[in-house]
Every structure is written in structure tokens, then in C-alpha cells.
Amino acid sequence: MLAACGRRRRSAGFRGYAFVANEEGHAIAAVDLEALAVARHIPLNGAPTSVVSAARRPFVYALSPSNGTVHEIEVDRLSFNRRLAVASSALAIAVAPDDSALYVLATEPQALIRIALDTLKVEWRMALPRDPVDFAVAVDGATAAITFANGVRLVDLAARKLGATVGIAIGAPVRITGAGPETSTIATCCPPGM
């Protein structure tokens, strides 16, 4: 997953960087989008698989699922800033729509975790039933959808309450395939390969 930060100039190219998770290299590659070349490899204590950005913050955040660690990278300096181990292992990361927090879907222990971005500390953990697969946060930030091997469950994020299963998977785990401001649905779900 890529997270680009920067602004357009009148000249050709795009002034800014794309941050690419390099799982095998245990690093984030900062790619200069004007030069179309790697500007810097930012080493991490873990193997990142995804990078997300908060629109109103000068940082990107990488998730290393194998050790459940969130890494904060300074966009202006192209350098590691701080890290937080939130679980033994994790699956996915998302930014709250208001840029106030990160959500991490953890597998060990199985939980949805909210991290305050101002302090990079855990605000709360919500235990989950077994086998979470993926998740998405609604555009209004009030609800999340978490997929499990047997279907989809909605979460009231303010109340930290998990709702009943709203969809049933037949034969395969359910994955989030789309969510965002351009759609009126929280997520579109289907078994892998569909």
C-alpha cells in the first residue's frame, strides 16, 4: 500500500514522496516522485506490509504485522520517529477519518485497538471473537465493519460494542474490497477471488 504526501508544482512531475512498505527489507522506501527514485530506505524493527497517512499530520504510519508494531515516520525528514508495539501480531491498520487516531486489527490477542496519534498510546482495546480477517472504518468515524471467517460484524466505535453478524460467508473468509467517501456503503465484501 502507498501513502503519498506533497503538493503539486507548475513544473512536470509531482513534488512529494510515496512511502512503500518493504517487508523483506524491514524498511519503508521513500520514493521521490519528481525524480522517480528511492530517496531513502528507512529501517524499522519489523517487516512492514502497509503504510497509511493522516491528511493533517506530517507523518505516515507503517504496520509490521508479524510483531504487531506501529511505526511513525516523519515525512519532512524521511526518518523514523517512534514506535508502539500493540499486539504480538496484527492484520491491518486504518486512520480515523478525523486524523485523531489509528485503528489496528490484531490477531494475537484478537482485538480492535485504538491508538491516539497525539501521544501514540493505546486509548482502548476491544476483544474480538476468533478469526478476524479485515476491517474498514466508516467515513463518519462512528462505525467500523470487521470481517470474520463466518461473516461481517459492525462495531459502534464510541460505545466499543460489537454488533451481530450481518452477513454470512459460505466456504471462504470475507474480505473488505472497498470503502470510502465515494460510496454510501461502509464496505463491499466478498470471498477472496471473486
Given a contact cutoff of 8 angstroms between Cβ atoms, the answer to whether 62 and 82 are in contact is no
More confident of the two residues 151 and 48: 48
11 pLDDT band, cuts 50/70/90, is low
DSSP state of 14: -
SS3 (DSSP) at 65: helix
Q: Model's pTM, two decimal places?
A: 0.83
C-alpha–C-alpha distance, residues 46 and 27, integer Å: 8
Q: Which three cell numbers stand for residue 46?
A: 519489523
Question: Is-cis flag, bond preceding 109, omega within 30?
Answer: yes
Residues 71-114 have pLDDT tens digits of: 999 999 999 999 999 999 999 999 999 999 999 999 999 999 99
Residue 20 has pLDDT above 60, yes or no: yes
Domains and CATH numbers, the chain: 1-128 (2.130.10.10), 129-194 (no CATH)
Bridge partners of residue 82, in order along the sequence = 72
Q: Give the separation between CA 124 and CA 87, rounded to whole angstroms.
A: 13
The DSSP symbol for 140 reads: T
What whole-number distance in Å separates Cα of residue 65 and Cα of residue 41?
19
Name, in order, each residue with C-beta under 8 angstroms of 156's C-beta and a sequence gap of 6 or more.
142, 143, 163
Rounded Cα gap, residues 156 and 162, in angstroms: 7
